[in-house]
């Protein structure tokens, strides 16, 4: 697999002329979006002025107006930028992925399916809907891997029976295959309880998490500080989470600088890196030519595909029995 340095050279030596053209298109699009946005907001304020008498009688009317108004505005914005975003993905993201490995297949409209996200057992909250994009599938060192941006949501109703959706997870979701099928489930989660409430209360909350299986305490202080482990089989969990693997997960987490979730279910490893944004959708309000933005795309792609090399999923230790 190409290194980050090699990908950066490719980005600037081969893709930069295309980036310059796209950045000119971005500036034009930004002016258009800003102009249309100004008149759309102005229209909303005029509408609000003429309806203030009705709204003053019931604030519910404001909610009924605001929700569809915001939804329409979002739809208009997405429609305006759709062509630019697709061109960026076709001309920048797709070539970058091919440069990493020629065998990888990329499509901007697909995503890791709902049933795989549920199968991961990473999230306690019921997932009722999954959307996403930027799906990549292939093999690295003969190991199957797939990943995409996903947005997993839970449906619920408020006291008035109005349906609402809340985000369970938004970010990069990676699935790869071990060469061994495990008997139980091992789940590795960010240690939010201990970092928020301290060792004493945090340990108590972790141990009394009824929605999870047995809490497994690992003998690696650095790993314990960052992660909490639940498993159906303590012996198997320790067999999976060797010192070497725990170190690699710590390195992976530090590279991503975002909350990291990992599960070992059957013969699959599921990794979720929380970003709370669409990773590969360019903003029209920031220049594509900025080095920081370029490196974010490159490092994210390298991080996702490099999981196979980091965890060495094809080592003999994972050979099927």
Q: pLDDT, tens digit, for every residue of 52-97?
A: 766 666 656 666 777 888 999 999 999 999 999 999 999 999 998 8
Q: Residue range 146-154: average pLDDT?
A: 95
Residue 144, both tokens = 């199957």
More confident residue, 59 or 202: 59
Please give the pLDDT value at position 42.
Answer: 94
Evaluate if residue 202 carries a pLDDT over 50: no
74: left (phi over 0), alpha (psi -120 to 50) or beta: alpha
Residue 43, both tokens = 């229209």
User: Could you give the CA distance from residue 257 to residue 295 in angstroms, rounded to a whole number?
Assistant: 14
**Exposure of 183 by Cβ count < 10 A (0-12 exposed, 13-18 middle, 19+ buried)?**
exposed
Q: pLDDT, tens digit, for every residue of 153-174?
A: 999 887 777 788 999 999 999 9
Domain-by-domain residue ranges, the chain? 4-181+266-318
Please give the pLDDT value at position 21.
Answer: 94
Please give the pLDDT value at position 183.
Answer: 87
| Mean of per-residue pLDDT scores for the chain | 84
% of the chain residues with pLDDT over 70: 87
Least confident segment among 13-27, 59-73, 198-212, 271-285: 198-212
% of the chain residues with pLDDT over 90: 40
Q: pLDDT, tens digit, for every residue of 262-289?
A: 999 988 999 999 987 888 888 899 898 8
User: Could you give the CA distance from residue 219 to residue 235 in angstroms, rounded to a whole number?
Assistant: 13
Confidence of residue 204 (pLDDT cuts 50, 70, 90): very low
User: Could you give the CA distance from residue 30 to residue 202 in angstroms, rounded to a whole number?
Assistant: 47
């Amino acid at each position: 697999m190409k290194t980050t340095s090699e990908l950066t050279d490719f980005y600037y030596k081969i893709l930069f002329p295309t980036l310059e053209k796209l950045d000119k298109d971005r500036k034009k699009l930004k002016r258009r979006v800003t102009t249309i946005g100004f008149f759309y907001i102005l229209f909303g304020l005029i509408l609000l002025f003429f309806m203030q008498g009705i709204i003053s009688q019931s604030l519910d009317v404001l909610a009924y107006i605001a929700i569809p108004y915001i939804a329409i505005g979002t739809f208009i914005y997405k429609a305006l930028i759709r062509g630019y975003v697709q061109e960026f993905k076709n001309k920048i993201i797709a070539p970058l992925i091919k440069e990493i490995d020629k065998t990888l297949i990329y499509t901007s409209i697909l995503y890791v399916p709902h049933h795989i996200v549920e199968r991961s057992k990473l999230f306690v909250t019921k997932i009722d809907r999954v959307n996403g994009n930027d799906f990549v599938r292939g093999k690295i060192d003969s190991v199957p891997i797939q990943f995409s941006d996903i947005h997993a949501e839970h449906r619920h109703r408020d006291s008035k029976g109005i349906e609402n959706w809340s985000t369970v997870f938004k970010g990069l979701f990676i699935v790869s295959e071990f060469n061994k099928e495990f008997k139980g489930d091992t789940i590795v989660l960010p240690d939010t309880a201990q970092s928020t409430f301290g060792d004493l209360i945090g340990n108590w909350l972790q141990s009394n998490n009824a929605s999870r299986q047995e809490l497994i305490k690992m003998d690696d202080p650095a790993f314990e500080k960052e992660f909490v482990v639940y498993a159906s089989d303590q012996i198997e969990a320790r067999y999976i989470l060797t010192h070497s693997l725990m170190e690699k997960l710590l390195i992976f987490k530090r590279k991503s600088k975002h909350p990291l979730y990992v599960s070992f279910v059957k013969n699959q490893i599921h990794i979720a890196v929380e970003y709370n944004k669409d990773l590969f959708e360019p903003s029209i309000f920031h220049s594509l030519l900025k080095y920081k933005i370029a490196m974010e795309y490159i490092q994210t792609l390298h991080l996702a595909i490099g999981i196979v090399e980091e965890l060495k999923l094809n080592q003999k230790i994972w050979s099927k029995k």
